[in-house]
């Protein structure tokens, strides 16, 4: 049976041309993505991709079927949107939050959405920026808080909000939590960073700024901030975070002098309509909700 997930796998692979990147966009791991592609190819009776070293390319059959897959996904998205507006329990406002959004900021955005439309139901998902942009473009989300900069594919966007960050440093390296530090002083350990494919433009800006202020020390890729915090607690990494609640024994919190690595956030929504019946004038309120408490 042809399912929405199979179509999502097909389109994501066609766009990303890489199994790992496509899996991250969809929000799954590589094994189920590969399995889904095999089942889709069995269903359509044709090979859709040529596998190469580190990349994939569409076959002639894949090129021919890709426009149909995009139209089918668009039709499904329109159905979901229409169904949400007919909900007798009130409109559903689906929001997306990048993993870097502190919990308090995400809660403020959700509260602003709920207050804007009386009787609405707010649901939230967390996913990398690249995935959120794709989901908002496809209509699966009404709005999302993403990292800036990002390729927005024609989406509308609110102003950029800068959240100040702290450096979480093993106390064995710097025992005084109250001491502001410069990045250049933190060359003894790598800085924990998330995979580039999750938000390529924002990651590149972060890494370029890091290299400018801190020529030595390097970086280490982690799956999320919890993994980075664990490495910091083990004395093996430094974490840069806007989240005031992220803490662990053996890890000190330091302000960085001149705040060279703020987290840049932006609210995005479909160009064709305001988010799931949200009136346009509410967008300024939502942008204000991005300001860290």
Q: Tell me the average pLDDT across 137-147.
A: 88
Q: Tell me the average pLDDT across 160-172.
A: 92
Judge if 194 and 249 occupy the same domain: yes
What is the pLDDT confidence band of residue 85, given thresholds at 50, 70 and 90? low
Of 64, 83, 102, the position where a domain reaches its end is 83
| Whole-number pLDDT of residue 179 | 82
Q: Tell me the average pLDDT across 123-151.
A: 89
Judge if 136 and 275 occupy the same domain: yes
Task: Check whether 207 has a pLDDT greater than 80.
Answer: yes
Judge if 180 and 257 occupy the same domain: yes
| Whole-number pLDDT of residue 84 | 55
**Half-sphere exposure at residue 18, Cβ-oriented, CA atoms within 13 angstroms:** 7
Considering 4-13, 116-125, 265-274, the range whose residues carry the highest mean pLDDT is 4-13
DSSP one-letter string for 67-132: HHHHHHHHHHHHHHHHHHHT-TT--EEEEEE-TTS-HHHHHHHHHHHHHHSTT-EEEEEE--HHHH
Of 35, 62, 83, the position where a domain reaches its end is 83
Judge if 15 and 38 occupy the same domain: yes
For 87-109, the pLDDT digits (tens) are 545 577 889 999 999 988 888 88
Judge if 101 and 74 occupy the same domain: no
The enclosing domain of 13 has a CATH number of 1.10.10.10
Judge if 65 and 50 occupy the same domain: yes
| Whole-number pLDDT of residue 276 | 46
Of 35, 52, 83, the position where a domain reaches its end is 83
Mean pLDDT of the chain: 84
Judge if 56 and 118 occupy the same domain: no
Of 54 and 196, which is predicted with more confidence? 196
Predicted structure pTM score: 0.70
Judge if 146 and 282 occupy the same domain: yes
The enclosing domain of 127 has a CATH number of 3.40.190.10
For 217-273, the pLDDT digits (tens) are 899 999 899 999 999 999 999 999 999 899 999 999 999 999 999 999 998 988 765
Judge if 225 and 272 occupy the same domain: no
Which residues constitute the domain of residue 203? Answer: 165-261
User: Comparing C-alpha atoms, which of 136, 122, 125 is closest to residue 97?
Assistant: 125
Judge if 107 and 188 occupy the same domain: no
Judge if 273 and 143 occupy the same domain: yes
Judge if 58 and 197 occupy the same domain: no
**What is the tally of structural domains in the chain?**
3
Q: What angle do CA 24, 265, 105 make, to 5 degrees?
A: 95
């Amino acid at each position: 049976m042809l399912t929405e997930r199979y179509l999502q796998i097909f389109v994501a692979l066609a766009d990303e041309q890489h199994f790992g990147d496509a899996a991250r966009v969809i929000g799954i791991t590589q094994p189920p993505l590969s399995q889904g592609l095999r089942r889709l190819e069995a269903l359509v009776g044709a090979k859709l991709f040529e596998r190469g070293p580190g990349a994939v390319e569409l076959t002639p059959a894949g090129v021919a079927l890709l426009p149909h897959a995009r139209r089918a996904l668009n039709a499904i998205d329109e159905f979901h949107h229409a169904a949400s507006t007919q909900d007798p329990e009130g409109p559903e406002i689906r929001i997306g939050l990048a993993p870097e959004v502190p919990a308090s900021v995400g809660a403020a955005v959700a509260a602003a959405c709920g207050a804007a439309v009386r009787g609405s139901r707010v649901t939230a998902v967390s996913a990398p920026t690249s995935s959120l942009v794709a989901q908002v473009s496809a209509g699966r989300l009404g709005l999302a808080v993403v990292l800036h900069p990002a390729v927005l594919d024609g989406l509308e966007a609110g102003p950029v909000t800068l959240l100040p960050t702290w450096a979480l440093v093993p106390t064995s390296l710097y025992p005084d939590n109250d001491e502001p530090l410069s990045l250049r002083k933190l060359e003894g350990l790598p800085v924990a960073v998330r995979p580039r494919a999750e938000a390529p433009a924002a990651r590149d800006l972060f890494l370029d700024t890091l290299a400018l202020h801190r020529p030595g020390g390097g970086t280490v890729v982690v799956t999320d901030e919890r993994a980075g915090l664990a490495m910091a607690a083990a004395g093996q990494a430094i974490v840069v975070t806007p989240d005031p609640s992220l803490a662990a024994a053996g890890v000190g919190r330091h302000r960085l002098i001149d705040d060279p690595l703020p987290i840049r956030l932006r609210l995005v929504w479909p160009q064709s309509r305001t988010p799931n019946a949200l009136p346009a004038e509410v967008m300024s309120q939502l942008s204000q909700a991005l300001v860290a408490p």
